[in-house]
Structure 1
Amino acid sequence: MAGATASLSRRLLVAAGAFIAAALIIATILIAFVLHRFVQGQVDQRLDAQIAFLASTLQVGKDGRLMIAGNADGPPFDRPGRGWYWKISSPANVLRSRSLGGDDFQTPDVDGRPAPPPPPRPGDANPPQDGAFTVRPVPADGIGPRDQMLHYRIANVTQFGMPITIAASAPRDAVRGPLGEAMRTLAVSLALLGLSLIIAMLLQVRLGLRPVESLRRAIADVRAGARNRVPEAQPRELQPLADELNALLDENSANLERARRHVANLAHGLKTPLATLAVSLRSDGSNSADLQSLVVLMDRRIRHHLGRARSAALGGPVRARTLLAPRVADLVLVLSRVNADKAIEVSQSVPAEIAVGCEQQDVDEMLGNILENAFTWCRSKIELHASMEARNVVLAIEDDGPGLSAGQIADAVQAGHRLDESAPGFGFGLSITRELVELYAGSLTLDRSALGGLRVEIQLPAG
């Protein structure tokens, strides 16, 4: 479940980073192997050339002992104690390079002995003669004089009718030194390459996911009412999603428009019989003040909802925005004057920047109903505080009045239901407030207050 909710950028970066790291490690191993073989091959070629030169200069004296014609100690075999040595062993005698000085080394054993030279083939211009070097040297590693680590090339040949072993050595550092230098340069190069690949990967992920972020902002604009639909021009991978979102928005818009027309038609249908009732009451000479006030109230509600339906149909997608603090201050000022005899202490904590996505008339009606109840039932104290929670504004109004029980809270929001028949009003305040709050996709909650009375919490979309 955690993998399904992980960030796409994080998943792409981790996967690409793991692949790049694995590729660089494998490349390092392969390049190191190739470099080692190359450097080792260069050293082996030099040793093989020395062995071939030694074999070509061998002579046998009258006493049967081997001799070398000329100087066989050219560079680097002229440097004493450096590990570049050669040695020729035969049953008659042993020849050594001057670089050994007074030291010696034991020639490592190698498997097998060379076969004798092949017989001459008919037509060969220069058939091999006794003494010709025709054996490929064999590699070996061991410890030489002064505990040096040496790499050997050893050739077992048969010349002058006797078995002869020719060995040439090089210090192991002759391979490790150049290889270490090459690997350090390679490590720096691969590190720069890896850094470049990581930067390119970050840019690729950022550029690749930019259309997703653009689509998110477009959806947020639709939710905020800044646009009607998601832009249709999208990358090929996001085009089906954008089409489905636009189809859903079109369907919701059509359903909302039908609901608005239904409300407008209902309101228009009620206006005519209501007007007839008002005329009849005015023509009746009996005492009908209460009925007249009800008719006026119903007419005001119907006109209000007709105006909202009309403005919603003509106003387009841009939603209203009402600052909360000024509306609260105005209502508290008016109600404080009306209830001046109670000396009510009102504590307000409404940040000036908080706004709700509602029309000002609806905000006044919702807050007016709640605050009027609070001023009516409180003893001496009312507290108001507003805060932002995600994309919503939460306004809480608390008083120190008698409050409501759980059963009374359930009945309080029912239209026309009055908990105290002796109090003025018709019992529509809370129900109308709840309907207006729900119309804006908000919520109305009643609960016990820490002050001892009622706590009313209204949650509305932020403007």
Structure 2
Amino acid sequence: MLRSLRWQWFVVAMVVTGVTIAMLAKWLQYEFHDHLEEQQVAELTFQLDAVTANLPELAKSAPLDLPERVAERLADPRWRRPYSGWYWQVERLDRTDAVWSSRSLWDFRLAFPERADWGKGSPVLLRDLAGPDGQKLLALVRVVRWEEEAGQLWRVTVARDQAQLQAIDEEFRQELWTILAGVVVVLLAGGLVQWGLGVRPLRRLERALTAVERGEAHFVAGSYPTELASVVATFNALLRTLREQSETGRRQTGQLAHALKTPLAAILQIARQEAKQPWADEIVAQAELAHAHVRHYLALARAEASRGALGKRCDLAEVLERIVAAMTTIFAEKALQWSCDWPAHCQVVGDARDVTELLGNLLENAARHARARVGVRVVPEVVQGHSGWRIEIEDDGPGFEGAHESSGSMGACASVEAANASDASLLPQAGLGLHVAQTIVRALGGSIAWLGSERYGGARVSLFLPSRFVAESH
């Protein structure tokens, strides 16, 4: 799965988006909490100043008693409602019994930690100060020196319940994550759309390459983005080079065949003319062997050149129709009954000339040895994950002895060297045509089997040709 570019992009996008959104959420939460706390501190500072301004009135009243005129000046009803979450407290630091507080504190007294900076004049902010009813308070504390009362130190405190702030924080957090989740969905959806637009040229390139592989086009056609244009141009140049090399190889092998054909024919003619000489039979045998080897390796070279040219394909139906028509004419005196069964269109890898030579040799061999009937059948098949066509050629002749299978990249033979032309020579019907057929099948990446025909009682040749290019396995 992770070999897919789509999944790699998706994982990277998820990680980057997730980390970014998490960092953004943390920062926004911190900023919101800090801003909210600043507002609360500003309000506490205002209330602290108001309570401090009433310090002379408090000093004249009895401890734990809130004068009505101070209550009127601090008109907020939250100061009067018990455990309302808003509290103030004033105390003399030199006396433990001199404490004034808001009615909201009721009978609770705020306790403070020991600090060395109480007397520096600036308000001190305390968090999580223990309050009544288990509340955690945000408190602002100021120590005031009252010169009119012989420099007495008074600690003035205003506080509020942090639960209210935490509730606001939590509500903001929930709304924030809801919004950010929507942002993530939008970003990922936009990313998927962008991915779809980005891979569209790759899909067009894939379709173009498939057309080349199927033989529907010689080169990759179409315009592509700058990032792919150079790749397409290089690939087309490679295809052009391979095609030229294939044609050059085929032309050179043909020239070599013609160059060798005349000297070998001359040697055979001379040997036959001197048939009475003791060396004549040996010369004829060696010349015929040389001719067989030449034809064998020329067929191999042509087939390899055809297979190496990406996009070379042919239609089996057209090839078989031409060959059967030719064989019917050639063996007209035998009045053979042909049974043919193949689909209208069945494409295989290889040049039409090579496939024609392959099937021509096999059908000629079947027609030559058949008594009255020859059958040809083509069916689709998948071998080792590769789709192709199974071709069955049967006759009612003497059949094969020591029937076996010979194959290329699709079959079971260990190597071409271990199963070269000598394989076909094991068969009683073996001839040069079977050698060539065996060579072409291997070069095209298929397999061939020499079997017996249960239907006709003679020989059966079963060969598989792939419908798509099959890379050599090492």
Smaller-chain TM-score bracket = 0.5 to 0.7
**CA 52–446 in structure 1, closer or farther in 2 if over 3 Å, else same:** same
**How many Å apart are 1:263 and its aligned residue?**
4.6
Q: Report deviation, 1:19.
A: 0.8
Q: Distance in 2 between matches of 1:34 and 1:177?
A: 16
Structure 1 residue aligned with 2:12, among 15, 21, 26?
A: 15
Per the alignment, residue 105 of structure 1 pairs with 109
1:237 is paired with a residue whose SS is: helix
Q: Distance in 2 between matches of 1:177 and 1:105?
A: 25
The superposition leaves residues 237-267 of structure 1 with CA deviations (integer Å, 9 ceiling, x where unpaired) of 3344223322322221221222233355457
Counterpart selection for 1:258 from 215, 234, 248: 248
Is the 1:322–1:356 Cα contact (8 Å) retained in structure 2? Answer: yes
Give yes or no for the alignment of 1:29 onto 2:33. no
Contact 1:446 1:457 in 2 (8 A): yes
Paired letter, 1:457: L
Aligned match of 1:72: 74
Q: Are the aligned partners of 1:369 and 1:433 in contact in 2 as well (CA < 8 Å)?
A: yes
Change (3 A) 1:113 1:461: closer
Corresponding letter in the other structure for 2:46: A
Where 2:207 maps in the other structure, the secondary structure is helix
1:220 counterpart letter in structure 2? T
C-alpha deviation, 1:110, in angstroms:
4.8
Counterpart of 2:52, as a letter, is A
Deviation at 1:212, TM superposition (A): 2.8
Residue number in structure 2 paired with 1:184: 174
| Equivalent residues of 2:118, 2:143 under 8 A apart | yes
Flag the 1:184–1:415 CA change in 2: closer, same or farther, 3 A.
Answer: closer
Q: Which amino acid aligns with 2:26?
A: I
Q: Does 1:175 align with 2:165?
A: yes
Name the structure 1 match of 2:273: none
Amino acid in structure 2 at the alignment position of 1:456: S
Residue of structure 2 equivalent to 1:446: 449
User: Which amino acid in structure 2 is aligned with residue 146 of structure 1?
Assistant: D
Alignment of 1:94-243 (within 5 A): 94-100=99-105, 102-115=106-119, 134-159=121-146, 160=149, 161-231=151-221, 233-243=223-233
Count of residue pairs the alignment pairs up: 403
Map of 1:40 onto structure 2: 37
Q: Equivalent residue for 1:404?
A: 402
**Structure 1 residue 57 displacement after superposition:** 1.6
Q: Does the 8 Å CA contact 2:402/2:426 hold for their aligned counterparts?
A: no
- Please give the TM-score of this superposition, normalised by the length of structure 2: 0.66
**What is the rounded CA distance, in whole Å, between the counterparts of 1:169 and 1:347 in structure 2?**
102
User: How many Å separate the matches in 2 of 1:412 and 1:59?
Assistant: 119
Residue 393 of structure 1, aligned match among 363, 374, 388: 388
Q: What root-mean-square deviation, in Å, do the aligned CA atoms of Structure 1 and Structure 2 show? A: 5.1
Q: Which amino acid aligns with 2:25?
A: T
Deviation, 1:109, is: 2.0
Q: Which runs of 5+ in 1 are unaligned?
A: 117-133, 277-297
Whole-Å separation in 1 of the counterparts to 2:109 and 2:452: 100
Give the structure-1-normalised TM-score.
0.68
Whole-angstrom CA distance in 2 between matches of 1:445 and 1:199: 53
Partner letter of residue 135 of structure 1? Answer: S
Label 1:408 to 1:459 Cα distance change in 2 as closer, same or farther (>3 A).
Answer: closer
* SS in structure 2 at match of 1:458: strand
SS of the aligned residue for 2:51 comes to helix
Which residue number in structure 2 is paired with residue 457 of structure 1? 463
For 2:84, give the aligned amino acid: R
Unaligned runs of 5+ residues in structure 2 are 267-290, 408-417, 470-474
**1:434 matches 2:438:** yes
Residue 59 of structure 1: aligned partner: 56
**Residue 271 to residue 135, structure 1, CA distance change in 2 (3 Å):** closer
Structure 2 distance, partners of 1:462, 1:254, is 21
Q: What whole-Å deviation, never above 9, does each CA across 1:308-364 have from its counterpart, x for those lacking one?
A: x9xx9xxxx986642559959x969989x9677xxx9x998x677643356778656
The Cα shift of 1:270 comes to 8.4
